[in-house]
Amino acid sequence: MLETVAYGLAIALNLFIIFIGVRFLLVPHAAAAGYGVPVEPGKGDAFLAVKGVRDLTYGLVGLALLAFAGVQAEAWFMLLVALAPLGDTVIVLRHGGTKAVAFGIHFATAVTVLISAALLFAL
C-alpha cells in the first residue's frame, strides 16, 4: 500500500509540473495569472517561457529518475525540488500576489512534495 501511494504521488506530481510547464509555454499570461503574479500581455514573455521550460524539465527529470535511477534518487530529487515551490511562495508574496495563492497553492505544493519525498525515503 505504501509503495503504491509513494509511487502514485511522485508520478502525479511529476505529471502535474509537466502540465504547468506546457501551460506556461502555450498560454503564458493565463498561466502567470494562475501562478499568482499576472503579467501584462506582451511583457515578460521570455521569463514566462523560462518558467515553462524549467517546470517541464523538472517533471521529465523526475519521471526519468523514477523509471531509470530508482526510488532513492527520486526521493532526493523531490526533497531538493521542494525548494522551487517554496521560492514561488516568496516570489508571489514579494510581487503583490495574495497570501491565499502563495500559501494555498505554492506552500501547499512544497509540503506535498516533501511528503512525497518522505514516502519515497520510507520504501
pLDDT value of position 42: 87
pLDDT value of position 29: 95
Number of H helices, E strands in the chain: 7, 0
Identify whether the C-beta of residue 98 lies closer than 8 Å to the C-beta of residue 89. Answer: no
CB atoms within 10 A of CB 89: 22
Domain count, the chain: 1
User: Can you give the pLDDT of all 123 residues of the chain as single tens digits?
Assistant: 999 999 999 999 999 999 999 999 999 999 999 999 999 988 899 999 999 999 999 999 999 999 999 999 999 999 999 999 999 999 999 999 999 999 999 999 999 999 999 999 999
- What range does the domain containing 11 cover? 2-122
